[in-house]
Amino acid sequence: MTEWLFDGVLGLLLLGLAFGALYGRNLYASVLLFIAFGLALALIWARLGAADLALAEAAIGAGLTGVLLFAALARQPGPADRPEVTGTRLRLGAAAVVLPMLILLVQGLAPLSEAEPHLPEMIARHLDETGVSHPVTAVLLNYRAWDTLLELAVLLLALLGARQLGPRPLDLAEPWPLLRAWARVLAPLLVLAAGYVLWRGASAPGGAFQAGALLASGVVLLRLSGLLPRLRWSSAPLRLLVLGGLLVFISVALMTAWLGGGWLAYPVGAAKPLILLIETVATLSIAASLSLLVVGEGEDVSS
Amino acid sequence: MSSSLFWMIIGAALWLLGLHGLLTLRQALRRIIAFNLMGSGVFLVMIALASRSQPSDPLLVALVVTGLVVAVSATALALRLAGVAQGGRKHAHPEEPRQ
């Protein structure tokens, strides 16, 4: 009974926050409610037993997306408190499309909740051959390493796409003294936590994505409090960090295809060190790409 | 009603709420938020499906972890594009009377 009460409250809170984020009085309120939505979602992931996801959501969904949205809000040309004007007719029309879809979706999804999944068994059966003991990490870096490789490529593409749009100055206000003092304390702790999460990822919830997101949030914190110099794509070490994950991953894939059993099929016994190598460089690469996406700047900011 | 069905319905409702926002809202920032809500709805359905078995189905959890990073990079790119589009509009307007 109490579980149902908890679930119901969490679900209603989530939908309420989502509604507020969409139709909030002004953009500022919308962005704030969206950050709260991310935190509520992290709670729900923890409730549903996906601790890996709760870690990633708290750092990415609530932290980095919040910074991104606030930075975009600050660059809005018009006044940010302009209310959204939508005709009642348009709203009703959209509702008339959406409500029947809800019924259809629920009808389509309901049988799925009864079906018996058979994949977890198959994953558990071969877990000791993967080199790690946490099934989620095993899926990410062994069974479906392809996904992770392509995901790094997507991250790089997004970064290149954002770069194509020209330089973007980041106007930093004079940081609040308390923020500056806290950033100095928090940054080493974030690095420590990221290292721990990365290392624990082999046997418990955690891994490259979560550690990368934590590191990136540390970099963003330091940059926003003015303790780091400008992050520029033109600096060679940063570029190497961004590309490193993908390069190491592809070279491992090529080596396994050439010398071993096939594309990304790790040789027996070498799986653990290879996964650890890939995870370490992928963490650094994800951290560098995300921080460049969030607080990176163009090279030639003249105006 | 099982717990996973409840969360699947919440996920579907979230997706449709995002769709409704995408259809009715005009401001770019709100539309990007609406798009993110739709993504979160999909993730919620997937994790509700993962929670059918105890412990959660690692495959679906891993897919959503990947999806989360892709979602944030897509959001960053979308916000940059929206910023450039708005900046372009702002620069374009003063030149119009001259021509």
How many other C-beta atoms are found inside a 10 Å radius of the C-beta of residue B93?
Answer: 9
| pLDDT greater than 70 at residue B95 | no
Residue for token pair 């950050």? A35
**Architecture of the domain spanning A1-109:** Up-down Bundle (1.20)
- Which pLDDT score, from 0 to 100, does residue A153 have? 94
3-class SS of residue A297:
strand
Residue A135 in tokens: 């099934």
The tens digit of pLDDT for each residue in A193-202 reads 999 999 888 8
Cα-based distances in Å from A150 to A71, A96, A140, A157, B67:
28, 38, 11, 10, 11
**B71, closest residue in chain A (CA to CA):** A61
Provide the shortest C-alpha distance from residue B56 to chain A (in Å). 6
**CA-CA distance, A295 to A27, in Å (whole number)?**
21
Range of the domain at B59: 3-98
Q: Cβ–Cβ of B21/A50 closer than 8 Å?
A: no
Residue for token pair 């660059």? A75
Residue A303 in tokens: 């105006």
Local confidence pLDDT in tens for the 303 residues of chain A: 888 999 999 999 999 999 999 988 888 899 999 999 999 999 999 999 888 899 889 888 888 999 899 888 887 766 655 556 678 888 888 889 999 999 999 999 888 888 888 888 888 888 888 888 888 888 888 888 888 999 999 999 999 998 888 777 666 777 788 888 888 899 999 999 999 999 888 888 888 889 999 999 999 989 888 888 888 878 888 899 999 999 999 999 898 888 877 778 888 778 888 888 999 999 999 999 999 988 887 654 443
What residue segments make up the domains of chain A, in order of their start?
1-109, 133-303
Cβ-Cβ pairs closer than 8 A, A with B, add up to: 238
**CA-CA distance, B65 to A50, in Å (whole number)?**
10
Cα-based distances in Å from A248 to A197, A273, A276, A282, B66:
21, 13, 12, 9, 19
Provide CB contacts within 8 A for A209, sequence distance 6+.
Answer: A56, A140, A286, B65, B66, B68, B69
Core vs surface per residue A168-201: b (16+ CB within 10 A) or e: bebeeeeeeeeeeeebeebbeebbebbeebbbbb
Chain A positions in Cβ-Cβ contact with residue B33 (cut-off 8 Å): 21-22, 30-31, 34, 69
Cis, bond preceding B55 (omega within 30 deg of 0): yes
A175 contacts A225 by C-beta, under 8 angstroms: yes
Chain A positions in Cβ-Cβ contact with residue B62 (cut-off 8 Å): 52, 136, 139-140, 144, 147
Can you say whether the dihedral through the CA atoms of A196, A200, A202, A208 is positive or negative? negative
Number of domains in chain B: 1
Q: What is the CATH number of the domain that holds B59?
A: 1.10.287.3510
A142 contacts A266 by C-beta, under 8 angstroms: yes
Rounded to two decimals, what is the model's pTM? 0.89
- Which DSSP string corresponds to A89-100? HHHHHHHHHHHH
Q: Cβ–Cβ of A120/B9 closer than 8 Å?
A: no
Q: Is A10 exposed, middle or buried (0-12, 13-18, 19+ CB in 10 A)?
A: middle
- Is B63 near chain A, with CB under 8 Å? yes
